[in-house]
Amino acid sequence: QSVNESYSLYCDISQLTEKDVEYFKSILAPSALSQDESDLEAFNNDWMHKYRGQSKLVLKPSSTEQVSKILKYCNDNKLAVVPQGGNTGLVGGGVPVFDEIIISTANMTSIRSFDTVSGALVCDAGCILEVLDNYLAERGYIMPLDLGAKGSCHIGGNVATNAGGLRLLRYGSLHGTVLGLEVVLPDGTILDNLSTLRKDNTGYDLKQLFIGSEGTLGIVTGVSIMTPKRSKAVNVALLGVSSFENVQAAYKRSRDELSEILSAFEFFDKGSIDLVKKHLVAGKNDPLESPHPFYILIETSGSNKEHDDEKLNNYLEGLLTDEIVQDGVVAQDTTQYKNLWAIREGIPEACSKVGSVYKYDLSIPVPVFYQMVEDMRNRLDKEGVLGEDKSVDSVIGFGHIGDGNLHLNIPANSYSEEVINIIEPYVYEWTAKHAGSISSEHGLGLFKSPHLHYSKSPSMIQMMRRIKNMLDPNGIMNPYKYLPEK
């Protein structure tokens, strides 16, 4: 998509002036506003170093009222804004395209309340996911979501992207665990829906509209979320498998035999672990001696260690006896538990160490999951861009089998138009042909918006546009992203 062409659609958007900056200075503490180019660098660049904006101003409000004043002013004066949390998004949604004002939630970090009976946590949008999880660990609870970016991503950003991650298999998506939201609309209205109720059938469930809206409808300032009890007994095993058919067989069995204690079922291929071994400290700890074409990381969480150990051991023995898995190791202590997870969680970072990564986050029916990776590998190989000393390093697949979510990653020395044209639209056509989704959990951002039609019908896209126009008639919220051009 040419952003210059898109820009013409938003010709009503105004340019930032000194008068505007003076207004923001009048409502924010001096340290909550920066025009300094070196400060802005981190806010203008995304995690992958793929997208780069040219914003001249970042605002870091510390209260919902300040966010409200900022948005009202921007709406009245037609100034475009980009909400930004931890800036770990993978689709170019959290950084400006041009010179939009960045509104960061970095200063909104209060935990507002925690109910030790129900497990309802209410907090500011800028709380870092890992900080929340550590807070809950001290109280015997756990966040219902977990992802590799937990040390940086904000809960507001998680809600805005409807992040999935490693615990979705067990606790479901944020559409189920979020109990309420506080959202500031573009005109400054504070929509206070910070309910802690599990059940509330009074009217449209408006919070759902903002979960996964990627900052295009309003800014999430507060989150109320249901947190489960932290399991007393947790086991993690890493298994080596000879074929993708056997990965599926092991998953099917895990649902029968581990059922209620199964909390994660992740898979990755040999190419993934090879990258982790090559680029990360986590890779120095591969506990399986010989290489395998596929790996499974399986986690169980329950309340009775003896019971869980027995169940897991029986399950693993069955897999080995029936030659569904070739080798396996079970973590014996917390350090080993962390080391095994570090291999799986390190894959995105290991890919980025190669240089650039073409990243595709797809929902695909599990039986054809790995066929996508193989087809893409063959395609790139045939075009002569894959392999040692070629521009593309490898084609790897990993992801959340239990959620039907494949991460197809193609690390390369640098981004090239030639390679993109080999990958796209092939990858989207392939996914649509198999009734999949072109964005399973990362969202649309700037990257996927032109391709939305592969996953949504014209009438659905039209309805989304109407909602956007109703809530953000001036188009100031995260423009140029999410929805395709007319």
Binding interface with ligand FAD (CB under 6 A): 47, 82-90, 93-94, 105, 125, 147-149, 153-154, 156-158, 160-161, 163-165, 214-215, 219-220, 348-349, 441-442, 445, 478
Q: How far is the CB of 141 from ligand FAD (least distance, A)?
A: 20
Nearer to ligand FAD, 258 or 446 (CB): 446
Q: Which residue is nearest to ligand FAD (CB)?
A: 157
User: CB of 124 within 8 A of CB of 182?
Assistant: no
Start-end of H helices in 45-126: 64-76
Q: How far is the CB of 314 from ligand FAD (least distance, A)?
A: 30
The residues, ordered by sequence, that sit 6+ positions from 463 with a Cβ below 8 Å of its Cβ are none
- Cα-flanking dihedrals φ and ψ of residue 268, to 5°? -150, 160
Q: How far is the CB of 102 from ligand FAD (least distance, A)?
A: 9
Nearer to ligand FAD, 82 or 276 (CB): 82
Q: How far is the CB of 209 from ligand FAD (least distance, A)?
A: 12
Q: How far apart are CA 446 and CA 61, in angstroms?
A: 25
Nearer to ligand FAD, 81 or 319 (CB): 81
Burial 102-140 (b: 16+ CB within 10 A, else e): bbbbbbbeeeeebeeeebbbbbbbbbbbbbbbebbeeee
Which tokens sit at 409?
């990653």
Nearer to ligand FAD, 308 or 345 (CB): 345
Q: How far is the CB of 382 from ligand FAD (least distance, A)?
A: 31
Nearer to ligand FAD, 328 or 436 (CB): 436
Nearer to ligand FAD, 94 or 271 (CB): 94
C-alpha separations of 221 from 67, 235, 340, 384 in Å:
8, 36, 35, 49
Nearer to ligand FAD, 149 or 316 (CB): 149
Strands 396-400 and 405-412: antiparallel
Nearer to ligand FAD, 6 or 478 (CB): 478
The residues, ordered by sequence, that sit 6+ positions from 171 with a Cβ below 8 Å of its Cβ are 144, 145, 177, 228
Q: How far apart are CA 407 and CA 397, in angstroms?
A: 6
Strands 101-104 and 111-114: unpaired
Q: How far is the CB of 433 from ligand FAD (least distance, A)?
A: 24
| Residue owning tokens 């659905």 | 460
Q: How far is the CB of 63 from ligand FAD (least distance, A)?
A: 13
> Exposed, middle or buried, 442 (CB in 10 Å: 0-12/13-18/19+)?
buried
- The amino acid at residue 425 is P
Across the strands, what pairs with 234? 301
In 3D space, the residue among 37, 81, 90, 88 whose CA is nearest the CA of residue 61 turns out to be: 81
Strands 190-193 and 219-226: unpaired
Q: How far is the CB of 292 from ligand FAD (least distance, A)?
A: 23
> Exposed, middle or buried, 336 (CB in 10 Å: 0-12/13-18/19+)?
middle
User: CB of 363 within 8 A of CB of 436?
Assistant: yes
- The amino acid at residue 81 is V
Nearer to ligand FAD, 103 or 312 (CB): 103
Q: How far is the CB of 86 from ligand FAD (least distance, A)?
A: 3
User: CB of 179 within 8 A of CB of 120?
Assistant: yes
Q: How far is the CB of 87 from ligand FAD (least distance, A)?
A: 4
Q: How far is the CB of 164 from ligand FAD (least distance, A)?
A: 4
Nearer to ligand FAD, 84 or 455 (CB): 84
Nearer to ligand FAD, 105 or 246 (CB): 105
Nearer to ligand FAD, 328 or 445 (CB): 445
Q: How far apart are CA 380 and CA 166, in angstroms?
A: 30
Q: Which helix (H) or strand (E) holds 178?
A: strand 178-184
Q: How far is the CB of 282 from ligand FAD (least distance, A)?
A: 12
Which tokens sit at 233?
């007994």
Q: How far apart are CA 24 and CA 18, in angstroms?
A: 10
